[in-house]
Amino acid sequence: MTRSVAILGGAGGIGRAVVAALKETGDDVIVLDLSASLERHRLDVPCIPIDVLSEAAIDAAVARLRRERPALDGFVNLAGFNASIQPLSETTTEYFDDVIAGNLRGAFLSTRAIMPLMSQDGSVVMVASGLARFIRPGYGSYAAAKAGVIALANTLALEFAPKVRVNTVAPGLVDTAFLRGGTGRSDEAGESVVNLGPYLSAIPLRRLAEPEDIVGPIRFLLGPDSGYMTGQVLWINGGAYMP
């Protein structure tokens, strides 16, 4: 049976890999992302521009989504960014607010708007980060936001059970434009904001994740094989963090 799946952040590195994988298995996919991301990465699926920093833009995008896909079987929330690594003592209020807005407030607003479209036995997959629990210096704003995303997902899992399952994927660093500030928000070919040498030396599997490494866990949580899972977190990090 064909499923209808919306992917927020589907033009990003992980998002494009998820779109390709779901299309390959016959799912009906629709992508929501920044206009700049959609223009840079032309996808051969229906796309709706959205800016999760704007509640009005979210409402407009979801209203259009409702007209085009009045019922969803799956929703993947991949939106997020972190443009800089800096100690909290040097973090400006403006930067902290921007990161919280783009990663946590945006996840709250967009998921709240989309949940009424979810079908019976639908599945929502939120994408957080290993930094939500495996705290490292310099990522305070982002880590706080992604910890909030996990709490948000778990609350939604309780409030929407048994109709809709809500789970979270929490990757380590993935080799995408995120490392250079984010898809649609940066020079995607620029230098990584992360010093990758020390990071890689701490990973038992000794490599950086590729987008395809995150696709499988997302597909699993969207599908029937995870039908008795809700409010759970899958940590995808090559063994760097073992809770």
Specify the pLDDT at position 180.
Answer: 56
Look over the chain and give the mean of its residue pLDDT values, rounded to a whole number: 92
Per-residue confidence band for 160, with pLDDT thresholds at 50, 70 and 90: very high
Q: What is the pTM of this model?
A: 0.91
Domain spanning 4-236: which superfamily?
NAD(P)-binding Rossmann-like Domain (3.40.50.720)
User: Taking residues 200-221, what's their average pLDDT?
Assistant: 93
Strand order across the 164-171 sheet? 47-49, 28-33, 4-8, 72-77, 118-127, 164-171, 233-236
The pLDDT, as a whole number, for residue 71 is 98
**What is the per-residue pLDDT for 45?**
97
The answer to whether residue 139 is catalytic is: no
Please give the C-alpha separations between residue 188 and each of 33, 54, 167, 176, in angstroms, as whole numbers: 16, 23, 29, 8
pLDDT digits (tens, 9 = 90+) for 27-81: 999 999 999 999 999 999 999 999 999 999 999 999 999 999 999 999 999 999 8
Kindly state the DSSP code that residue 164 receives in the 8-state scheme: E
Percent of the chain at pLDDT > 70 equals 92
pLDDT confidence tier of residue 176, bands split at 50, 70 and 90 = confident
Determine how many CB atoms are found less than 10 A away from the CB of residue 206: 10
**Catalytic pick from 142, 199, 228, 241?**
142
* pLDDT confidence bin for 124, thresholds 50/70/90: very high
Of 75, 214, 200, 86, the residue nearest 143 (C-alpha): 86
How do residues 125-140 score in pLDDT, each as one tens digit? 999 999 999 999 999 9
Q: Identify the DSSP state of 105.
A: I
Domain range annotation of the chain: 4-236
Residue 240 token pair = 């760097």
* Contact call for residues 204 and 57 (beta carbons, < 8 A): no
